[in-house]
Amino acid sequence: MLKEQNKVIFYGTPDFARYCLKHLINEGVNISAVVTAPDKYSGRGRKISFSSVKEFCLKKNIKIFQPENLKDKLFLSLIKKIAPDIQIVVAFRMLPREVWSIAKDFTFNLHASLLPNYRGAAPINWAIINGEKKTGLTTFIIDDHIDTGLILLKEEVKISSFDSALTLYNKLLNKAGPLIKKTIKYHLSGRLNPKRQILIGGEKYAPKLTTNNIKIDWHSSLDLIEKKIRGLSPFPGAWTFFINDNNKSRMKIIQSSVIYSNHSDKRYRIMEKDGNILISHKEGYLKCEEIQLENKKKMDAKSLLNGYKFSKNSFVLP
């Protein structure tokens, strides 16, 4: 448990951050305040939406800050008044020097990869897409750049051939809170040995997911296509254009498997066979087990075929 005089400010917004914050509080960490994203307004009625972290803080009566601008003078003065010993960042925007330098000891971040590999916005997705056998979590001291600071601790997590972005997310989530707590504990006991990130060449990166880089490339191998689908499942979902009854549309493939086969079917054709949806490929077939048609809900293949038919000349666009 942190000593009474140690004060911690936590920065985070989504569910991943909320679970980490909850773990720290349950472990007795003294959270003096939480900084999270501003409220959002959506829909015709402009309904207000709170971040997952804010909802948790309201229930626990934790002090909340929601600055639009992290360099705002009033916000900075309030943080300085708290005089935090440590600041912790989980799934939040990049902190300017004016913020991270406030902490007496240091400000550290939790990143969902084994740094220096997979620096960037989408490390969980790209680890699966690139076929990694392991990934993990890293705590590191924040500096002026993105994911480049001194490494504090790491925790490895194995990636199975069946993992999707969601299942790997859950594996990492289970270890995230404990690793943050361990980082604090080691710091207070003098056991941390911050290490500089050494680049040896060949490091992989995790750029932000865009419409272009989540599109399926049907010229790729079936293995790479299947990994891409898993790495983007269930969100945002790997997508492709397809033609059905001379109409061009989009669909997302959420879950799939590979059937290697020598065949004479026309390449890229979409076929219905025994209640399954198959897409022909030079190496065999991609079996589409869960699909989301444009502006429709996700459905398993059998349910989709109950109300939707692919014509004999339907095909995906490579």
**Residues ≥6 apart with Cβ < 8 Å to 33:** 9, 10, 62, 63, 64, 65, 79, 82, 84
Mean pLDDT, residues 150-159: 99
Domain annotation covers residue 236:
yes
**pLDDT for the residue numbered 1:** 44
Q: Which two tokens stand for residue 221?
A: 């191998």
pLDDT above 90 covers a percentage of the chain that reads 96
Q: State which residues form the domain around 230.
A: 222-316
| Listed residues 169, 188, 207: the one ending a domain | 188
Give domain status of residue 231, yes or no.
yes
Here the CATH number for the domain that contains residue 284 is 3.10.25.10
In a domain, 1, yes or no: no
Q: Identify the pLDDT of residue 46.
A: 79
pLDDT at 4 over 70: no
Q: Are residues 247 and 310 in the same domain?
A: yes
Q: Is residue 268 located within the same domain as residue 145?
A: no
pLDDT at 26: 97
Residue with tokens 């917004």: 13
In the three-class reduction of DSSP (H, G, I as helix; E, B as strand; rest coil), residue 96 is classed as coil
- Asked if the structure places residue 143 within a domain, the reply is yes
Establish if 94 belongs to a structural domain. yes
pLDDT band at residue 45 using 50, 70 and 90 as cut-offs? confident
pLDDT band at residue 5 using 50, 70 and 90 as cut-offs = low
Q: Work out how many domains the chain is built from and give that number.
A: 2
* pLDDT in the model for residue 316: 98
Domain match, 286 and 243 both: yes
Cβ neighbours, 10 Å, residue 156:
10
Segment (H or E) for 138: strand 134-141
Q: For 145, which DSSP code?
A: S
Do 119 and 26 sit in the same domain of this protein? yes
Answer yes or no: do 180 and 47 share one domain.
yes
Between the alpha carbon of residue 275 and those of residues 7, 137, 198, 268, 287, the distances in Å are: 59, 41, 52, 19, 11
In Å, the largest CA–CA distance within the chain is 73
Average pLDDT over all residues of the chain: 96
Domain edge (last residue) among 188, 212, 230: 188
Measure the N-to-C terminal CA separation of the chain; round to a whole number of Å: 56
| CA–CA separation, 127 and 216 (whole Å) | 17
pLDDT at 7 over 90: yes
Verify that 99 and 183 share a domain, yes or no. yes
